[in-house]
Each structure stands twice: as C-alpha cells, then as structure tokens.
C-alpha cells in the first residue's frame, strides 16, 4: 500500500517509499512491498469466523476472515500470505498503490486499501526505525473459488528495521536496511456466493 509507511521522494520518480524523519530519509521500501503489505494484511486478515447458508438453494458462506503476512525483505515486490476463517488458503500478495492482488492456491481477488495512519519513529543514532500503522480495506473481483467474493475490514502493519550505515558511520538513505521485519494482520467480514 502506497503511503502506508512514508512519503515518496518528491524530487525523483521511483517505485519505492521512504520514511522521512527530521530530514533523514532512512528506508526506501518498494511501494509494491508496502502496498502488498497493507493490502495483504488487510485481505489476509479478513477472516471468516462463521459459515452460514445464505438462503434455501444457495450455498453461499459468510463470516470473518483473518489474514497474516510476514516478510524479512525490504525489496521484494510480493509478500507471502495466509488466510483463514470462512476459508483457508495461502499464496502471495502483489502490491499496488491502492489496490493489491492476492494470488492464492484456489483463486485470486483484489484488495483496495486506504493509506496507513499511525506513528513512525527513527533513531538517527542507532539507525533503528519503527512503524505501526492501521487502515481499512475492501475485497472484490475474485477468480476461481473466490469468484463473487466481497468483504471489508481493518488492517495493522508493523515494521521494524535497522538502516545500513555509510562509510562515515551515518544511517544510509540509499542502501537497503541490514535488518527488516514486516508483519501485517487484518480481519473483517467476507461473503462468498
């Protein structure tokens, strides 16, 4: 999700995001990674907690679906995801600026997500960065087993990283972080026809 963790560089066209704190742009994350992360967390966490028959002659199910995505790569364009609740599946999240695509074993669906909001902190002495953000998502345009899916919910993104240092010992704005952890969780109601 673009805007999940930061503001894009205004002076250059690129596909990444950066965390800007006190003039330090310390982490350049691929917007697909963060977009996927935001949407993935939202979509993967949209767990279905119950299955009910929609009506006589209908086999539709609805309930709460949960999603989780965990990554240790700040440069990957996809994130692994597990969903469970009404249905259980796994696959990858292909992130976008505002819409991600979850490609799972039994089909795929789109996840539109809001920009994340919440605190960010970067320590220029230790090069440690922390991001905790949340937002909303909407699920639609399913294929395969997920044809006709629709749902919505909330997500939470947690990022912890240590920026690389320059030869002068300062936190690098250009190098990938030396350590990176991303956890996305999401949940909300979902319905399948």
- pLDDT, one tens digit per residue, over 153-185 is 999 999 999 999 999 999 998 999 999 999 999
The count of structural domains within the chain is: 1
Q: Is residue 184 situated within a structural domain?
A: yes
Mean residue pLDDT of the chain comes to 78
pLDDT computed for residue 58 by the predictor = 52
Q: Is residue 6 situated within a structural domain?
A: no
Tell me, rounded to whole angstroms, the distance of Cα 133 from its chain centroid.
10
Q: What is the three-class DSSP state of 80?
A: strand
pLDDT computed for residue 139 by the predictor = 97
Q: What is the three-class DSSP state of 128?
A: strand
Q: Is residue 122 situated within a structural domain?
A: yes
Q: Is residue 177 situated within a structural domain?
A: yes
Q: Which domain holds residue 139?
A: 16-192
Q: Is residue 156 situated within a structural domain?
A: yes
Residue 118 gets which letter from DSSP? S
Q: Is residue 5 situated within a structural domain?
A: no
pLDDT computed for residue 77 by the predictor = 86
Q: Is residue 8 situated within a structural domain?
A: no
pLDDT computed for residue 97 by the predictor = 85
Distances (CA, A) of 94 to 2, 75, 84, 144: 12, 13, 19, 17
pLDDT computed for residue 96 by the predictor = 85
Q: Which residue ranges of the chain lie beneath pLDDT 50? A: 1-57
Q: Is residue 175 situated within a structural domain?
A: yes
């Amino acid at each position: 999700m673009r805007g999940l963790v930061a503001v894009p560089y205004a002076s250059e066209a690129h596909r990444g995001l950066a965390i800007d704190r006190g003039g330090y742009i310390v982490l350049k994350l691929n917007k697909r990674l963060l977009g996927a992360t935001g949407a993935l967390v939202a979509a993967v966490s949209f767990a279905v907690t119950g299955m009910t028959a929609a009506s006589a002659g209908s086999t539709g199910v609805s309930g709460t679906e949960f999603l989780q995505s965990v990554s240790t790569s700040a440069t990957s364009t996809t994130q692994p995801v597990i969903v469970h609740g009404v249905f259980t599946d796994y696959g990858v999240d292909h992130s976008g600026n505002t819409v991600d695509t979850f490609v799972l074993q039994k089909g795929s669906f789109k996840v539109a997500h809001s920009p994340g909001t919440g605190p960010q902190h970067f320590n220029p002495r230790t090069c440690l960065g922390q991001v905790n953000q949340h937002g909303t998502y909407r699920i639609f345009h399913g294929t395969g087993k997920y044809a006709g899916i629709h749902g919505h919910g909330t997500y939470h993104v947690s990022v912890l990283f240590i920026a690389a240092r320059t030869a002068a010992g300062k936190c690098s704005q250009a190098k990938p972080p030396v350590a990176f952890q991303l956890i996305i969780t999401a949940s909300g109601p979902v319905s399948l026809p």
